[in-house]
A and B are shown apart, each in its own frame.
Chain A
Amino acid sequence: MNMPHPPIIETKDLTIRFGGHLAVDHVSLQIPPFTFKSIIGPNGAGKTTFFNMISGQYRPTEGKVFLKGKDVTSLSPAIRTQLGIGRSFQLTNVFLSLTVLENVRLAIQSQKDIGFNFWKNYLSFSELENQAYEILKMVLLDTKWNVPASGLTHGEQRKLEIAILLALETEVLLLDEPTAGMALEEVPSILELLKQIKNRRDKTILLVEHKMDVLMALSDSIAVLHEGRLIADDTPEAVSKNREVQEAYFGGGRARG
């Protein structure tokens, strides 16, 4: 095997404790750049919590997070996003009173150098709205661009969540169950989108999903969390044959989706 690139994201003994409960327990993971890694595990395994520590919403009790070799453990989520870790949320997390387009435009704006401009009209930066509209097309939300996000269905809000993440254009994309709660007929278009992003090979993707067929087709590798511990980290084939994984995930805990 050829030497892989140095990892873009690396966690070392990442641990978090809520009261007496170890939600994530010494997880060390390396993610090579431009790869697609999925994270699976039964409900409550600690997947979302693990994401929260990578993107900075939670501070670990113990352990470290590295981005391109730089220790980012003590940096705020805002700084981490600026450094290249983008995040979508399992529980829809959008700006409800703003329009769909504005939700996406704000994500684009944060990556431009106009953040602190308070003397020009925001519409004079019209290319931002155009870019936002293009992204809405990708997730099939373009017809709803002028609707407040509160007026979207749950499934549409999930698509908006993805659009916001894509608009950030970060090198690392953390996707927490992007298709959960979406109408079934909409799921393939989102998966197609993920596949396109993957095939461009210019982003590193971390995906939490419960739909096994999705994972098998898309992932370069799959990490399995169980009760906060990393019990496997391997190719999709190897993981699906792993005894411990089968017991923990496919056998014991019922998978959703």
Chain B
Amino acid sequence: MNPVQQFRLEEKGVRFRNPYFFLRILLLAFFVFTPFMFRSFEVLDVVLKIIIFSALVASYDVILGYTGIVSLGHVLYFGIGCYSVGIFMGNLGWISYGHLALAFLIAIAVSGILSVLIGLFSLRIRAIFFAMVTLAFMEFAFILSSQLRSITGGDDGISFKLPGILAVDYSIGHFLGIELTGRILSYFLILLICMILFLFMLRFVHSPVGRVLQSIRDNEPRSIALGYRTYLFQVIASSFASCVAAVAGACFAIWVRYVSPDSSLSVSIMLDVLLMVIVGGMGTLYGGIFGAAFLMVTRAFLPKLQVLVGSILPGVPMAARLSERWLFYFGLLFIIIVYFFPKGIVGTVQEFFSKRRTS
């Protein structure tokens, strides 16, 4: 047996004993028990959005962090997922499990085909071209969704109901002290779907194709010289990521039961995704979770700082005035993270531990 085989065997042996494995279990446990630990809908809402955005950001990381191509329109596929569910449930009013599943499938198919076409047409040319074309398509979709009133509900969007156990007024009864409503069941359905998406993405980046993608990110001309038609691999990566984003979007629609151009297709969501991937760390997948958590949590709770400070230090106007500027603190936090975690939270921590192990 050669040292490589030896090493791989040892690696396998400690698969369920290494700290990363425990961290994963811990994270999953946290998400599973959130509905039981926190009774407030507000917290549940933030945690669920973290789950969905983790999947969306990780899918973006497959393109940006693993393949090294910049897309500025990734949220387009998220929007396709949202609208697919919205149109089936709301506009067409086909409220059944079958149609919900069909909405998912159509979202995946449309995203897959569209991203292959965009990729084939624009990845061959320079990288910046892909960034511009994807952005243009997203803008175009945004305009379409706000103009095609009869289908998309225009700027007002579509509100809709969900079938059976996912309906808001559904309830199976009590369990561990909470009422298992349609909301809670939706939460668990979405958690399950996003977990499956994560497993798919992990498998994808650790597949032979995933390794070629990393070689492209490192040194594309060399990858070509090895005989890889890199542009086909880039198309595969971008369409895989797009399908994942579409499913994440469909999940988002299930949660909020409402779609509109601003909530599902806007440039500001794209910016959020970019911030999340930078904060979490590129090329790590798990970075998505931390990036999403950072943004969602600060966004949700920094504005409350004012209330908090007001209750702790009543009658100190200086403190009240300072706590008003939550967006400023958000920016400051962001800069601090980027400064101290240049490879993102997960990337920098991983680097720290792998350095400690080798030294």
- The interface of chain A, by Cβ under 8 A from chain B, is 55, 57, 76-79, 81-82, 87, 89, 93-98, 101-102, 105-107, 109-111, 114-123, 125-126, 129-130, 132-133, 142, 145-146, 164, 168
A81 lies within 8 A of B225 (CB): yes
Contact of A96 (CB < 8 Å), options: B218, B221, B228: B218
Contact of A120 (CB < 8 Å), options: B207, B212, B214, B223: B207
Confirm or deny: B208 has a beta carbon within 8 angstroms of a beta carbon on chain A.
Answer: yes
Residue of A nearest to B2 (CB): A133
- Contact A78-B229, Cβ < 8 Å, known A109-B208, A121-B206, A122-B206: yes
Confirm or deny: B176 has a beta carbon within 8 angstroms of a beta carbon on chain A.
Answer: no
B window 175-213: CB within 8 A of A: 203-204, 206-212
Contact of A95 (CB < 8 Å), options: B3, B209, B222, B230: B222
Chain A residues, Cβ within 8 Å of B227: 78-79, 81-82, 110-111, 168
Knowing that A78-B229, A81-B227 are A-B contacts, what are 18 other residue pairs whose CB atoms are under 8 Å apart, sorted by A's residue number? A78-B225, A81-B225, A89-B222, A94-B219, A105-B211, A106-B211, A107-B226, A110-B228, A114-B208, A116-B209, A116-B236, A118-B207, A118-B210, A119-B207, A120-B207, A122-B207, A126-B8, A164-B226
B4 lies within 8 A of A101 (CB): yes
Q: From DSSP, what is the main secondary structure of chain B's interface residues?
A: helix
Confirm or deny: B224 has a beta carbon within 8 angstroms of a beta carbon on chain A.
Answer: yes
Residue of B nearest to A134 (CB): B2
Residue of B nearest to A150 (CB): B218
* Alpha-carbon separation in the docked complex, A98 to B226 (Å): 15
B window 217-260: CB within 8 A of A: 218-219, 221-230, 232, 236, 240
Chain A residues, Cβ within 8 Å of B3: 133, 142, 145
Chain B interface residue number, banded: 20 to 34
Residue of A nearest to B206 (CB): A121
A93 lies within 8 A of B219 (CB): yes
- The interface of chain B, by Cβ under 8 A from chain A, is 2-5, 7-8, 203-204, 206-212, 214-215, 218-219, 221-230, 232, 236, 240
Chain A residues, Cβ within 8 Å of B2: 130, 133
* Alpha-carbon separation in the docked complex, A63 to B223 (Å): 26
A115 lies within 8 A of B219 (CB): no
A–B complex contacts, Cβ < 8 Å, 27 sampled:
A55-B225, A78-B224, A79-B227, A93-B222, A94-B219, A95-B214, A95-B219, A97-B214, A98-B214, A101-B4, A106-B212, A107-B226, A109-B211, A110-B226, A114-B208, A115-B228, A116-B232, A119-B203, A121-B203, A122-B207, A122-B208, A122-B211, A126-B8, A142-B3, A145-B4, A168-B226, A168-B227
Chain A residues, Cβ within 8 Å of B229: 76, 78-79
A130 lies within 8 A of B208 (CB): no
Give the 3 A-B residue pairs with the shortest CB-CB distance, closest first.
A81-B227, A118-B209, A95-B218
User: What is the CB-to-nearest-CB distance from A47 to chain B, in angstroms, rounded to a whole number?
Assistant: 17
* Alpha-carbon separation in the docked complex, A89 to B222 (Å): 9
User: What is the CB-to-nearest-CB distance from B103 to chain A, in angstroms, rounded to a whole number?
Assistant: 25
B211 lies within 8 A of A87 (CB): no
Residue of B nearest to A137 (CB): B2
User: What is the CB-to-nearest-CB distance from A172 to chain B, in angstroms, rounded to a whole number?
Assistant: 13
Chain A residues, Cβ within 8 Å of B4: 101, 129-130, 132-133, 145
User: What is the CB-to-nearest-CB distance from B214 to chain A, in angstroms, rounded to a whole number?
Assistant: 6
Chain A residues, Cβ within 8 Å of B214: 95, 97-98
- Contact A123-B222, Cβ < 8 Å, known A114-B208, A115-B212: no
Chain B residues, Cβ within 8 Å of A94: 219, 222
User: What is the CB-to-nearest-CB distance from A220 to chain B, in angstroms, rounded to a whole number?
Assistant: 26
Chain A residues, Cβ within 8 Å of B206: 121-123
